[in-house]
Amino acid sequence: MAIVGFACRLPGGNNSPHKLWTFLEKGGIAPNAVPKSRFNFAGHWDGSHKPGTMRPAGGMFLSEDVDLARFDAGFFEVSGADATAMNPNQRQMLEVVYEGLENAGITLEQLDGKPVACFVGSYSTDYLDMLLRDAEDRAPGFLIGTGRAVMANRISYFLNIKGPSVTLDTACSGSLVGLDLGCRSLQSGEVDMAIVAASNLYLNPDHVMDMGAVGQAHSPTALCHTFDADADGYCKAEAVGALIVKRLADAIRDRDPVRAIVRGTASNSNGRTRGTGGIAQPSAFLECHGTGTPAGDPEELNGAASVFSPTRDQQRPLVIGSIKSNIGTF
Domains and CATH numbers, the chain: 2-327 (3.40.47.10)
328: left (phi over 0), alpha (psi -120 to 50) or beta: left
Residues 167, 120 contacting (CB under 8 angstroms): yes
105: left (phi over 0), alpha (psi -120 to 50) or beta: left
Quote the Cα angle for 98-100-104, to 5°.
115
Low-confidence ranges of the chain (pLDDT < 70): 47-49, 210-217, 268-282, 311, 329-330
pTM over 0.85: no
- Sheet of 239-246: strand order equals 165-168, 116-121, 193-200, 239-246, 2-9, 260-261
Quote the Cα angle for 196-17-35, to 5°.
90
d(CA 168, CA 179): 11
Strands 285-287 and 165-168: unpaired
What is the pLDDT at residue 212?
Answer: 60
What is the pLDDT at residue 272?
Answer: 57
82: which residues sit within 8 A by CB, 6+ positions away? 73, 141, 144, 145
Residues 86, 145 contacting (CB under 8 angstroms): yes
**Does residue 38 sit in helix, strand or coil?**
coil
d(CA 217, CA 10): 22
Provide the strand spans (E) within the chain. 2-9, 116-121, 165-168, 193-200, 239-246, 260-261, 285-287, 319-321
What is the pLDDT at residue 145?
Answer: 81
> In this predicted model, what pLDDT tens digit does every residue of 37-93 receive, in sequence order?
888 877 777 766 677 777 777 778 898 888 888 999 999 999 888 888 889 999 999
**Does residue 204 sit in helix, strand or coil?**
coil
Residue type for 165, please? S
107: which residues sit within 8 A by CB, 6+ positions away? 101
**Does residue 277 sit in helix, strand or coil?**
helix
19: which residues sit within 8 A by CB, 6+ positions away? 13
What is the pLDDT at residue 275?
Answer: 45
- Output the furthest CA–CA distance in the chain (Å, rounded): 67
Residues 95, 7 contacting (CB under 8 angstroms): no
What is the pLDDT at residue 183?
Answer: 96
269: which residues sit within 8 A by CB, 6+ positions away? none
What is the pLDDT at residue 4?
Answer: 98
